[in-house]
Structure 1
Amino acid sequence: MLYSSLIGTLTLNIQPMVARALTMRDIWLTLSNTYGKPSRGHVKQLKQQLKRCTKGTQSVTEYMRGIFAKADQLALLGSPLDHEDLLDTITGGLGDDYRAVVEMVNGRDVPISLEELHEKLLNRENDITAIEELSGSSVPVTANNTQTRSQRGGFRGNQASRGGYRNN
């Protein structure tokens, strides 16, 4: 009865892995060997996922929650991220709209706390939302493109953001 109960608690994609187990002990050993041991491949996979994290259209809270979930998994696998590496991961996936916050974080002698970084990112997100509402635009603040035709017939873009930065 316990055997059936344990099988019933597993998701459908995991059940086939333990279907041939004859005892509860066999189930536990299979699950432990598959998910309980920190494999080098699993750690590398999580680190690669962290490198590819970008905020995109997510809210700041959703973005940071996703990064923290992966960082927590790494810590559980015995490979926790250093605080400054976590800060670099968070700031590395932000767009130009958050450039001022990123520069502030990178310019500090003492690393910022995660709570303070989250607060500053939320404040910037609110500023961006307010600017978009005032302009009546859902286009990101830094998407003010002007294009001119070059002599060769191609286009050359010149972007300027409202945040006081100029991209050439």
Structure 2
Amino acid sequence: MHHVDDSIPPSSSDDSTKPTWFEKDQLLLSGINATLSDSALPYIIGLTSIKQAWDLLNNRYASTAPAYVMSLKQLLPRLKKGTQSMVDYLQQFKVISDQLTACGSPLSEDDLLIHILDSLPPSYRQLCSSVRIYARTSTLSIEELHTLLICEDLSLIEDTPPAVSAQSTALVASKPFRPNNSRQFS
């Protein structure tokens, strides 16, 4: 934390066996880089000190302003699965939920579960109804919902017929209809 709060100013060590302040700083910066999500990593590319990275990430993700909390909560019902994988879909909710928790305004598991179920496409309607019925008498954790949704996603993929080629053509042989008792004129 001394590198982050500037309580130890940059200096070099006279002892060649100890890492210098700069080496420690770069080691810490590498540690932060290694632990960031793919979505957060681009924000600190090019920064040269742990203090810069810490300050940027703190400003970006730890804002506790009521407007920021409200904007995060407004995002939840707007999330849609679309064509993304179930894992990516659920990750969006996790990121927002984690940000709300970091701001001191965590979502309850029930609220998160409701947002996840409400944002699913109609093909998941039967599972959503079953989950809601189950949740009336028992508690369903987000981890359990995650497992159910992954299984349902795989089931829906298996049930989807292979796409028909856009260039396929139906060939139909036809013969004019003539009743048996009709006369043919020559």
Which consecutive residues of structure 1, in runs of 5 or more, have no partner in the other structure?
15-24, 139-168
**RMSD between superposed Cα atoms in Å:** 3.5
Q: Which residue of 2 aligns with 1:43?
A: 69
Q: Is 1:53 matched with 2:79?
A: yes
Q: Is 1:112 matched with 2:140?
A: yes
1:12, CA displacement in angstroms? 8.8
TM-score (norm 2): 0.56
Which consecutive residues of structure 2, in runs of 5 or more, have no partner in the other structure?
1-9, 11-20, 30-40, 45-50, 165-186
1:136-168 CA deviation, whole Å, 9 max, x = no partner?
Answer: 228xxxxxxxxxxxxxxxxxxxxxxxxxxxxxx
TM-score (norm 1): 0.61
Of all paired residues, the percent bearing the same amino acid is 30
Tell me, yes or no, if the aligned pair for 1:105 and 1:111 is still in contact at 8 Å: no
Q: Report the AA paired with residue 82 of structure 2.
A: G
Q: Which residue of 2 aligns with 1:101?
A: 127
Q: Which residue of 1 aligns with 2:149?
A: 121
Question: In structure 1, what is the Cα distance between the partners aligned to 2:58 and 2:102?
Answer: 15
Q: Which residue of 1 aligns with 2:162?
A: 136
Structure 2 residue aligned with 1:62, among 75, 81, 88? 88
Tell me, yes or no, if the aligned pair for 1:71 and 1:81 is still in contact at 8 Å: yes
The structure with more radius of gyration: 2
Q: Report the AA paired with residue 105 of structure 1.
A: V
Tell me, yes or no, if the aligned pair for 1:43 and 1:77 is still in contact at 8 Å: yes
1:6-85 maps to which residues of 2 (within 5 A)? 34-35=59-60, 36-85=62-111
Find the residue that maps to 1:75 and give its secondary structure: helix
Q: From the superposition, tell whether residues 126 and 31 of structure 1 become closer, same or farther in structure 2 (CA, over 3 Å).
A: closer
Length, aligned pairs only: 129
Find the residue that maps to 1:57 and give its secondary structure: coil
